[in-house]
Amino acid sequence: MNESELYKELGKLTDDRSKWKESIPYVSSLLTHESVKIQAKALWLLGEIGLAYPLSVQDAVPVIVSFCDSPIPLLRERSVNAFGRIGRGSYHIIEPYWTGLFCFASDEEAKVRLSFIWASENIATNTPGIYENYMPIFEKLLYDADDKVRMEAPEIFRVLGKRRPEFVRPYLQQLQKISETDNNRVVRIHSLGAIKATVSK
């Protein structure tokens, strides 16, 4: 099966949740495939399966971790994404590696920084308390040079504002200023959303 056919097969598998659990060993085996495109798709799919069946992907987690050190930005991005989804399903499975994710807040690639925020939102959805002492890292991302990173950064404040508003209250003034002054409309809207989520609690 060539790369294109294999990619299509993984696409079909992504849509067929009934086969997810039984496909974990096969999808995990594709993490060693020579194609970056296939490795990236396998990482993404393992993350989605891990959200639904976190205990079933437990054995694949150390291999997923190994991609965090990849020189290829797409693979770093997808490994961080996978951690977010698996961690949302069960934080305990990724707990030994959780603090290691924070190095991606300053990754040289904007897409990896974006994935770090998105993964954090996923994990914080069900395990918000662990982020109490890490808010300054997200504060810095509110002022990222990349527009897409800045668009996503207020969303972690919104997720935490709904669940642990005391974590976000110290940043309300900054979020208000950003909502009034940032040159990106989506950043302004998301900042307002974070404020509303926090003050409504």
Percent helix, strand and coil across the chain, each to the nearest 5: 85, 0, 15
| DSSP alpha helix (H) spans, 53-184 | 61-66, 73-89, 91-94, 110-126, 135-141, 147-163, 165-168, 172-181
| Distant-in-sequence, close-in-space partners of 181: CB < 8 Å, separation ≥ 6 | none
pLDDT for residue 77 is more than 80: yes
- Go through the chain and tell me how many residues it has: 201
pLDDT for residue 1 is more than 90: no
Helix (H, G, I), strand (E, B) or coil at 34: coil
pLDDT per residue over 99-141, tens digit each?
999 999 999 999 999 999 999 999 999 999 999 999 999 999 9
For the four alpha carbons of 151, 152, 155 and 160, in that order, the dihedral sign comes to negative
For the four alpha carbons of 71, 75, 81 and 86, in that order, the dihedral sign comes to negative
CB 180 within 8 A of CB 149: no
Residues 154 and 177: their CA atoms lie apart, in Å, by 12
Across the range 167-192, mean pLDDT stands at 98
Closest Cα partner for 166 from 127, 201, 120, 193? Answer: 201
pLDDT per residue over 45-64, tens digit each?
999 999 999 999 999 999 99
pLDDT for residue 86 is more than 90: yes
pLDDT for residue 201 is more than 80: no
Say what the pLDDT of residue 198 is: 97
Residue 183 — very low, low, confident or very high, per pLDDT cuts 50/70/90? very high
Closest Cα partner for 67 from 41, 116, 31? Answer: 31
Across the range 10-35, mean pLDDT stands at 96
